[in-house]
Homo-oligomer: A and B are copies of this chain.
Amino acid sequence: AHAESGKPVDRMASYTADQLERVKQVLVVPPMVPAHDQVAKGKPKVVEVRLHVEEKQIELENGTKAWVCAFNGSVPGPLIVCHQHDYVELTLVNPKTNTLAHNIDLHAATGALGGGELTLVSPGEEVTFRFKAIKVGTFVYHCAPGGVMIPWHVVMGMNGAIMVLPREGLSDGDGNNLTYDKAYYIGEQDFYIPQNEQGQYKAYDTVLGSMNETLEVMKTLTPSHVVFNGAVGALTGQNSMTAKLGETVLFVHSQANRDTRPHIIGGHGDYVWNTGSFSDRPSQNLETWHIAGGSAGAALYTFKQPGLYVYVNHNLIEAIMKGAAGHIKVDGEWNDDLMTQVSKPSPIKS
């Protein structure tokens, strides 16, 4: 009695992993996104990815340090990209130099805590597991080793996202294909850095040493920092995102814990999958889109004007005072028809 029963059989869903070609995906540091086909070619593939965990101290903002647990060393971890019906074969490596056990729960996977149950590795160990990508969309992955380790590792940055594209690519819901010229992956992270009595952020010698006081701040549900890609300013200046006039950019945005609300200052979301589900018709022409904590969403925008765009979480306190802002520099020629300064700032008339 399930709606699926009436659907035609999808032949691409019926292969098993051993019948398919294997490809290694070269993962890259966000906001970059791995090279990928938007429309799948041929049969599904077994996509092999390797993630290692780095426990390390980073500089969150001028002199403020934070301990992070980072998939492949970055906060967020790298975006993985595949198509529906592909298998993802993931090796998780926990180097001997680490002190904590880690695992991976992928929201794209089905069963066994999204992989969390089959991937728990102690320092010095690695594990390989495979899952079939049956659901399309952008999905969070994160460490979930049990108990308070779950929220603590997640707010130490141990999360990333996977994008499972429909085999035929993205669509506007009216049968029209949607494509992009480039893609960026923004991972938003709430940090809960303890302060001393003078209100200065505290640094800790070891990751475990930072735990108890960090958990106390976490209970307030009030982050000290909310940042994109691991640090205040990680996507500004030299590290700004870029585009050319007329280019269509896909922005994948994940938040593994708290709600967020992306907005492009001066731009829009032409097509937005705020839940990340590519099964659903995208919303159109949004000023701001809401992404629930524990999910990754996606938005397409075709730039119509050159200049500097600021990409923010539009809780402006979080954007400006806590760090959730990045830049997009767009090259091209200004269009006075869309916007023009009719008269410059000048003394008030009348």
| Chain A positions near chain B (C-beta within 8 angstroms) | 1-3, 6, 16-17, 89, 93-96, 105, 107-122, 124-132, 134-137, 139-140, 144, 147-148, 150-151, 154-155, 172, 174, 176-179, 215, 218-223, 248, 256-259, 261, 263, 265-268, 271, 275-277, 279-280, 283-290, 292-296, 302, 304-310, 314-322, 334-335, 337-349
In the complex, how many angstroms separate the beta carbon of A39 from the nearest chain B beta carbon? 10
Does B284 lie within 8 Å of A150, measured CB to CB? Answer: no
Does B287 lie within 8 Å of A295, measured CB to CB? Answer: yes
Q: How many copies does the complex hold?
A: 3
* Given A128-B343, A288-B107: A315 in contact with B294 (beta carbons within 8 A): yes
Q: Per a CB cutoff under 8 Å, which of B109, B221, B345 touches A339?
A: B109
Chain B residue at minimal CB-CB distance from A179: B1
Does B137 lie within 8 Å of A285, measured CB to CB? Answer: yes
Q: Per a CB cutoff under 8 Å, which of B6, B151, B316, B320 touches A294?
A: B316
Q: Per a CB cutoff under 8 Å, which of B112, B302, B334 touches A305?
A: B112
* Given A263-B107, A266-B110, A293-B288: A1 in contact with B348 (beta carbons within 8 A): no
Instruction: Name the B residues within 8 Å of A304 (CB-CB).
Output: 110-111, 134
Instruction: Name the B residues within 8 Å of A147 (CB-CB).
Output: 320
Instruction: Name the B residues within 8 Å of A346 (CB-CB).
Output: 125-127
* Cα–Cα, bound, A220→B222 (Å): 7
Does B261 lie within 8 Å of A294, measured CB to CB? Answer: yes
